[in-house]
């Protein structure tokens, strides 16, 4: 079930993209991501860090796409998200090894 909720905004984005185009799909992705974060908080009374990071990135880049009417920004979103997750993995890995006593 978590797999479905994690990919809920992406699925809706691609459906809206095929149906209405990139700008409508961007609005749908922003709305779906906000619903995803809200429902997760209502259910668990906490936020999932990956959902929050994805929400803020899609809000920033999706907002830039809509404001500037340039679809390049929404296309940057997957790359930025993946780089941030990779950076988080590297940082936590380095902190783990620094704090481990042998």
Gap between the terminal Cα atoms of the chain: 39
Integer Cα distance of 58 and 32 in angstroms: 10
pLDDT value, residue 70:
92
10 Å Cβ neighbour count for 34? 14
**Pick from 54, 58, 73, 66: nearest CA to 5:** 54
pLDDT value, residue 88:
85
Model pLDDT for residues 61-73, shown as the tens digit of each residue: 999 999 999 999 8
Model pLDDT for residues 84-99, shown as the tens digit of each residue: 888 888 888 777 666 6
Q: Which two tokens stand for residue 65?
A: 């796409």
Return the ∠ at Cα 87 (arms to 97 and 81), rounded to 5°. 150
Q: Which two tokens stand for residue 98?
A: 């620094």
Model pLDDT for residues 14-50, shown as the tens digit of each residue: 999 999 999 999 999 999 999 999 999 999 999 888 8
Assessment of whether the complete model's pTM goes beyond 0.75? yes
């Amino acid at each position: 079930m978590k797999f479905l909720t994690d990919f809920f905004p992406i699925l809706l984005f691609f459906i809206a993209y095929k149906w209405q185009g990139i700008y409508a799909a961007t609005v749908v992705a922003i709305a779906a991501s906000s619903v995803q974060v809200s429902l997760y908080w209502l259910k668990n009374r906490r936020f999932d860090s990956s959902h929050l990071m994805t929400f803020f990135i899609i809000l920033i880049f999706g907002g830039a796409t809509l404001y500037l009417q340039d679809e390049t920004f929404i296309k940057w979103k997957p790359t930025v998200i993946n780089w941030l997750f990779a950076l988080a993995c590297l940082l936590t890995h380095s902190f783990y090894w620094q704090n481990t006593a042998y």
